[in-house]
Chain A
Amino acid sequence: MRIVDAHCTIGDGRVASLSADELVRQLDANGVEAAVIGPPDRCLAVANRDGNEFVLDACRRHPDRLIGFATVNPWYGDDAVAELQRAAAAGLRGLILHPPLQGYILLDTLVDPVLAVAEEHGLPVWAPTGKPFQSLPLQLTELARRFPNVNFMMGHMGHSDFWIEAVPAAAAAPNIYAEVSYKQPSVIVDAVMQLGPGRVVFGSDAPFNDLRLEVEKFREAELDDRARELVGAETLLSLLPS
């Protein structure tokens, strides 16, 4: 089964740290073809350009293994728009929004100028969900309805206690893809059955989670071969701009 990981973080963070080289070593050890990477918490919150450059540098060193996502804090306004334009032109292929670290509620119109850039460049948007009360599955649904031409990944699928509404929230907007880090195999299988195999993507949230354990858990989910290919790699790859 091909596996491409939809969500990893590199760099030094408050809770966990992981270098790009170490991540690639872990991908090798666990049979993972490639991984989406984003910058660490400080860079999500404030030092966006530093983070985007750090991610770009890692991708230049491991071009076949790492897929870089940018971040901009929408509170920077015009500067955020300009930085995302720059990062997309430089080769970053998605956008991470992080409402708790960046200081807004996910559905706030504050994010609209940044999402317009994501739409222009065809960047998929990943946001954590299940973080009360700033970043919840149904808030992502509202955003997805407001930007029907942008594809959104529902990070962690509502984990912790909002997993119950994750599938209904994703089902309510066709441009949402459930990212299943933290979710046990039963929940992954249920999401595939209810949303369809083309609407669920594997992610590990390494290094907060242990990459090996997340991959082993995903391999345990009882999916047919076609669903495994879609959830494991193909759907995520299809969302990326060329």
Chain B
Amino acid sequence: MIVDCHTHFVGELYGDLGGNVRSLVESMDVHGIDHAVVFTLDGFFEESRPHNDKLAEFVESHPGRLTGFATVDPRRADAAAEVRRAVTELGMKGVKFHPWLQGFSPVEAFMNPIAETCAELGVPIIFHDGTPPYTTPLQIALLAERHPELTVILGHSGLLDLWPEALVAASRNDNVWLCLCGPPTAALQKLVDAVPHERIVFGSDIGFGRDYQARHRIEQVRVLDLTDKSCEAILGGNAARLLSLA
């Protein structure tokens, strides 16, 4: 079973990269992905509530294939309430933040009530990570340290330049998970050598642009020096456990 923890729902504002010939679920079928976690894009730029609704509708139109993660503008006073609504009323199972798109740092105080709400509801927060000024793994890990009951996922495991931060953050903090999605293969090997495998998931970043990178990123995990059991856990089993997928 392959569970892809990093995909995008292309809306109207944030267009695709061109050449996108398949829907998300068609891409999943082509590349053998059983289930995907999907995020809004437009919701990062506009009021998030209607975009959470739109994403929930999309998820519901593909029963059993997709899990939606909400987003909120964390500066707003009603941010934690919107997280609660998205989880309890829309069936979302997590929250996605892209701090450099949304213009905040993960360490800012307004993140605390959101983190507390997610911890109480038992849903993770996944972050875009890997680049300064506002998406470094250690910034995100500081939020995780403040909220030990919260599960935080580094959505790119540090990308090309900051994966050494992701390695340290996930090695030290039991509530920091890695989503393998972006670092070079040699860095992925260093990450899986250092971080407990039960806290590592996989993501493709598909949803805009050609879906080829789903194949590329699945292969990047398959070529790692891992036991079959760990490889299967990273490609699907861990995410299924985290998201309580049937």
Chain A residue numbers with a CB within 8 Å of B223 are 210, 213
Q: B160 — nearest CB in chain A belongs to which residue?
A: A160
Q: Which of A158-177 contact B (CB under 8 A)?
A: 159-161
B139-167 vs A, Cβ < 8 Å mask (1 yes, 0 no):
00000000000000000100111000000
Whether the Cβ atoms of A161 and B212 lie closer than 8 Å is no
Contacts of A184 in B (CB 8 A): 209-210, 212-213, 216
A132:B131 contact, CB within 8 angstroms: yes
Bitwise, A199-224 to B at CB < 8 A (1) or not (0) is 00000010111100100110010100
Tally of contact residues, B, Cβ under 8 A: 26
Q: Within the complex, what minimum Cβ distance (angstroms) separates A62 from chain B?
A: 22
Assess the B131–A208 pair: CB atoms within 8 A. Answer: no
What separation, in Å, do the CA atoms of A36 and B45 have in the docked complex?
42
- B1-44 CB contacts (< 8 Å) to partner A: 17-20
Interface segment out of the listed A50-58, A140-148, A185-193: A185-193
For window 94-140 of B, CB contacts with A under 8 Å fall at 100, 130-132
Q: Known contacts A132-B131, A182-B184; decide if A210 and B220 are in contact (CB<8 Å).
A: yes
Which of B156, B160, B212 is the most central at the interface, judged by chain A CB atoms within 10 Å of its CB? B160
A187–B17 CB distance below 8 A: yes
**B19, A208: Cβ atoms closer than 8 Å:** no
Nearest residue, chain B, Cβ from A182: B160
Q: Which residue on A lies nearest to B213, using beta carbons?
A: A184
Residue pair A209, B18 in contact (C-beta under 8 Å): no
Is residue A130 within 8 Å, beta carbon to beta carbon, of the partner chain? Answer: yes
Q: Which residues of B contact A186 (CB under 8 A)?
A: 17-20, 209-210
In the complex, are the beta carbons of A187 and B209 less than 8 A apart?
A: yes
Residue B190 lies at the interface, judged by CB distance under 8 Å to chain A: yes
Q: Nearest-CB distance from A7 to chain B (Å)?
A: 12
Is B187's CB within 8 Å of the partner chain A?
Answer: yes
The docked-state distance in angstroms from the alpha carbon of A132 to that of B220 is 25
Instruction: Given A185-B212, A213-B219, A213-B220, check contact A161 B186 (CB 8 Å).
Output: no
- Considering the chains assembled together, what is the distance between the CA atoms of A16 and B132 in angstroms? 24
A228 within 8 A of B: no
Expressed in whole angstroms, the Cα–Cα distance for A130 and B113 within the complex equals 34
- A156 contacts chain B at the CB level, 8 A cutoff: yes
C-alpha gap A210/B156 in the complex (Å): 18
- B208-240 interface bits toward A, Cβ cutoff 8 Å, 1 = contact, 0 = none: 011011001001100100000000000000000
Q: Tell me if A190 and B132 are in contact (CB < 8 A).
A: no
Whether a CB of chain A sits under 8 angstroms from the CB of B182 is yes
> Which of these, B17, B187, B219, contacts A15 with CB under 8 Å?
B187
Q: How far is the CA of A120 from the CA of B90 in the complex (A)?
A: 65
Note all chain A residues with C-beta closer than 8 A to B184: 182, 205, 208-209
**Chain B's nearest CB lies how many Å from the CB of A99?**
12
A121 at the interface (CB under 8 A from B): no
In the complex, the answer to whether B186 meets A213 with C-beta atoms within 8 Å is no
Residues of B with C-beta under 8 A to A130: 160-161
A184 to B19, CA, bound (A): 12
Q: Knowing A184-B213, A213-B223 touch, does A222 contact B19 (C-beta < 8 A)?
A: yes
CA distance A187 to B132 in the complex (A): 22
Q: Residues of B at under 8 Å CB distance from A?
A: 17-20, 100, 130-132, 156, 159-161, 182, 184-187, 190, 209-210, 212-213, 216, 219-220, 223
* The 8 A-B residue pairs with the shortest CB-CB distance in the complex, in nearest-first order: A16-B186, A186-B209, A160-B159, A208-B184, A161-B131, A210-B185, A186-B17, A186-B210
Question: Can you name 7 A-B pairs with beta carbons within 8 Å?
Answer: A132-B131, A159-B160, A186-B209, A205-B184, A210-B219, A213-B220, A217-B212
Apart from A189-B19, A213-B223, 14 more pairs, CB < 8 Å: A15-B190, A130-B160, A130-B161, A133-B132, A160-B161, A182-B160, A184-B213, A185-B212, A186-B18, A186-B19, A187-B17, A210-B185, A210-B223, A213-B220
